[in-house]
Amino acid sequence: MKLWSNYHVAHSVTEALTLLGNYGGQAQIIAGGTDLLIDLQQGNHEPKTALIDITKVPEMALIEQDGDTLIIGAGVTHSSIVATPIIQERATCLVESCGVVGGPQVRNVATLGGNVAHAMPAADGTLSLVALDAEAEVASPDGRHWYPIQQVFVGPGKSVIDPSRQVLTRFRLKLTGTHAGSAFHRIMRPQGVALPILGCAVSVALDDDERFQTVGICLGPIGPTPARAVELETRLIGRTADPSVIAEIADYGRQALHPRTSKYRATAEYRVEMIELLLRQSLTAAVNRAQGITTEPFSAE
Ligand SMILES: Cc1cc2nc3c(=O)[nH]c(=O)nc-3n(C[C@H](O)[C@H](O)[C@H](O)COP(=O)(O)OP(=O)(O)OC[C@H]3O[C@@H](n4cnc5c(N)ncnc54)[C@H](O)[C@@H]3O)c2cc1C
């Protein structure tokens, strides 16, 4: 059986939307294809009349800085994110999370937009976008709309984006400034099934007295969607950013969050212990960076 009949390469967002419209819901956007082609092969999606490739849309391949705001095109690959100095310096957790996606072959073609549009609660790049409080722009036939990133996700594999009618175009986020930093750590089986046991992205800003001013924490997979750990964030605000406070919050995270047993990932008992470890590692690295202390980048390889 043919998994798709026609393949079109769009050169603008308008052209992609027109092509989708021409197929009346029977076509689907493809970027790197590292999720979609497997989904089609495994029968998770019905065969498509057409695939619409967005990797040649110039605006979706851009990384642009506008003051303290960073815009990342949805068609930017994980490898490009890892290699971009401004993201290394001022959105470090995104580099650390995109840097552990698959292997080099996957990262060279897989996109940040595909990671978000696939809407999995363990998606590494997505966890960092959530911790960084990013926004996502979605183009529809009737115009474009910016969504706070958390509002994009509806359930596992489900989002507000309909890739048979809409295009996820760009992400927008505030770069970390002085006295701010971010970090991402992940625990993964060294061999076998390519599913993370748990990932944790953290973004912090400290005030002049070294207290937590703003905090973004996203761990996954824990719930059906990638979500902020608001209870932990609230407990940190106003507290001094020192190892004892970090240890207290990491320990609290173990009690407050409830990951499930997954036969492909690990038992709930093991994963809950890893919450404490990941929170401690990620918060310590983010605070060190906010304080100007050099911290080696996290790499799972
Ligand atoms: C071997 C292997 C290892 C992997 N390891 C990891 C890992 O460690 N961590 C991780 O997070 N993921 C991993 N993945 C999953 C995958 O590589 C990522 O989720 C990747 O970012 C998907 O991007 P893509 O460009 O390939 O998306 P595609 O497969 O092209 O698309 C995925 C979905 O998003 C839709 N879509 C894509 N772009 C757009 C857009 N701009 N607008 C609207 N809809 C869009 C598609 O229609 C499709 O439904 C792995 C995959 C493989 C094959």
Q: Where are the domains of the chain?
A: 4-53, 58-174, 180-290
**If you take atom 40 of ligand 1, which residue's CA is the nearest one?**
168
Distance 101 CA to ligand 1 centre (A): 10
Q: How far is the CA of 159 from the centre of ligand 1 (A)?
A: 14
> Is the pLDDT at 301 greater than 60, yes or no?
no
Looking at the domain that runs over 180-290, which CATH code has it been given?
3.30.390.50
Tell me which residue of 154, 156, 150, 121 sits closest to 136, measured CA to CA.
Answer: 150
Q: Looking at this protein, which amino acid is placed at residue 182?
A: S
Lowest mean pLDDT segment, chosen from 38-47, 155-164, 190-199: 190-199
What's the pLDDT band for 294 if we cut at 50, 70, 90?
confident
Residue ranges lining ligand 1, Cβ < 6 Å: 28-36, 38, 54, 74, 100-102, 106, 110-111, 113-115, 117-118, 123-124, 161, 163, 167-168, 194
Res 274 pLDDT > 70:
yes
Q: Round to whole Å and give the CA distance between 84 and 78.
A: 10
For residue range 65-89, list pLDDT tens digits in order. Answer: 999 999 999 999 999 999 999 999 9
Residue 300 has pLDDT above 60, yes or no: no
Architecture of domain 4-53 in this structure: 2-Layer Sandwich (3.30)
Atom 19, ligand 1: which residue's CA is nearest? Answer: 115
Three-state secondary-structure class, residue 216: strand
Rounded mean pLDDT of 191-210? 88
Long-range contacts of 140-147 (CB under 8 A, 24+ apart): 140/17, 140/165, 140/166, 141/17, 141/21, 141/165, 144/169, 146/172
Q: Is the sign of the CA dihedral 15, 21, 22, 28 positive or negative?
A: positive
Compute the distance between CA of residue 151 and CA of residue 159 in angstroms, rounded to an integer: 8
HSE (CB half, 13 Å, CA atoms) of 282?
Answer: 35
CA-based nearest residue to 133, from 220, 235, 202: 202
- Residue 189 pLDDT: 76
pLDDT of residue 192: 56
* Strands across the sheet containing 4-9: 4-9, 48-53, 27-30
The one-letter code for the residue type at 68 is D
Bridge-partner residues for 48, per DSSP?
4
The CATH number of 58-174 is which of 3.30.465.10, 3.30.2310.20, 3.40.50.1240, 3.40.50.300?
Answer: 3.30.465.10
Distance from Cα 47 to the centre of ligand 1, integer Å: 18
Model pLDDT for residues 111-129, shown as the tens digit of each residue: 999 999 999 999 999 999 9
Residue whose pair of structure tokens reads 């912090």 in the numeric block: 204
